[in-house]
């Protein structure tokens, strides 16, 4: 039986020039939104979680497996020239990856002729098909059109058995989020479980503040939940 993954950060401190990051908390299975202002340390925490950079002090303990994948720029993962070769390079069934990425019929296409959204879909489909305990997605929706965002949302929804951390300061394109964490001036704040925590979210973005001001609390942070909450205001 597989043990559900659990990552514990204890007294983690990382200094980069004038910036210092402090992190203390737990990440369990499900989709976590790591949000915060630009420059608050989201990407640094993502890199610490993924083991790319080491904290100066503190410990990160893992329960149940330690296979990690960090997605920053999807094109960094490209190691072949065609869609089929690239899907096969992930050591999984290439047909399944291509189908999940919605690229059926483009198997022999040159990767460098694909749009940014198509490359992101391919790499995300490969990552989310892989057996990783931790998947960190740094701004997975940046630079994508609405159709591609919707596609990526659906792909992410398929992996609730792993610890999925979405790093984003944009809350308008998210899948269903289980836990909300934020970086506030370099310090990790575990805000809580969604949707219960949304009422107490101190540094909530303008959209959430607007909904709360109008007496509406969304049932979640997914695109659909936010649209439904906005409809409730309008009646």
180 - beta bridge partners?
33, 192
Residue number, 14 or 77, with CB nearest to another protein: 77
Closest CB to another protein among residues 71, 182: 71
Residue 215: left (phi > 0), alpha (psi -120 to 50), or beta?
left
Closest contact distance (angstroms) between CB of 126 and another protein is: 8
d(CA 137, CA 32): 10
Residue with smaller CB distance to another protein, 130 or 192: 130
| Minimum distance, C-beta of residue 108 to another protein, in the bound complex (Å) | 15
Distance from the first to the final alpha carbon of the chain:
48
Name the residue nearer to another protein (CB basis): 110 or 161.
Answer: 110
Shortest distance in whole angstroms from residue 35 CB to another protein: 22
In the complex, minimum distance from the CB of residue 79 to another protein, in angstroms, rounded to a whole number: 4
Nearest residue (CB) to another protein, 74 versus 103: 74
CA–CA gap between residue 93 and residue 225 (Å, rounded): 34
Task: State the nearest-atom distance from the C-beta of 195 to another protein, in Å.
Answer: 33
User: Cβ 102 to another protein, closest distance in Å?
Assistant: 21
As beta bridge partners, residue 6 has 63
Residues that bind another protein (CB under 8 A): 50, 52, 68-70, 72-73, 75-81, 89-91, 111-112
- Name the nearest CA neighbour of 169 among 208, 131, 199, 132: 208
* Identity of the residue, 132 or 201, whose beta carbon is nearer to another protein in the bound complex: 132
| DSSP 8-state code for residue 163 | E
CA distances 1 to 4, 64, 129, Å, are 9, 10, 20
Tokens of 65: 């497996």
Report the alpha-carbon distance of residue 32 to residue 176 in Å, rounded.
9
């Amino acid at each position: 039986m597989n043990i559900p993954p659990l990552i514990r950060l204890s007294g983690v401190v990382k200094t980069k020039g004038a910036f210092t990051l402090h992190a203390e908390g737990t990440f369990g299975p499900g989709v976590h939104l790591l949000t915060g202002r630009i420059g608050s340390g989201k990407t640094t925490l993502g890199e610490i979680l993924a083991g790319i950079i080491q904290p100066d002090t503190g410990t990160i303990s893992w329960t149940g497996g330690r296979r990690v994948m960090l997605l920053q720029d999807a094109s960094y993962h490209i190691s072949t020239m065609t869609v089929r070769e690239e899907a096969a390079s992930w050591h999984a069934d290439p047909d399944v990856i291509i189908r999940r990425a919605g690229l059926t019929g483009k198997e022999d296409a040159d990767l460098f002729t694909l749009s940014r959204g198509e490359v992101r879909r391919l790499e995300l489909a490969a990552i989310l098909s892989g057996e990783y305990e931790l998947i960190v997605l740094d701004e997975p929706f940046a630079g994508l059109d609405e159709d591609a965002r919707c596609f990526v949302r659906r792909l992410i929804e398929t992996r609730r058995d792993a610890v999925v951390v979405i790093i984003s300061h944009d809350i308008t394109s998210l899948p269903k989020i289980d836990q909300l964490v934020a970086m506030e001036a370099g310090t990790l704040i575990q805000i809580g479980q969604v949707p219960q925590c949304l009422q107490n979210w101190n540094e909530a973005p303008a959209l959430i503040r607007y909904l709360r001001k109008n007496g509406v609390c969304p049932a979640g942070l997914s695109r659909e939940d936010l649209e439904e909450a906005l409809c409730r205001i309008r009646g």
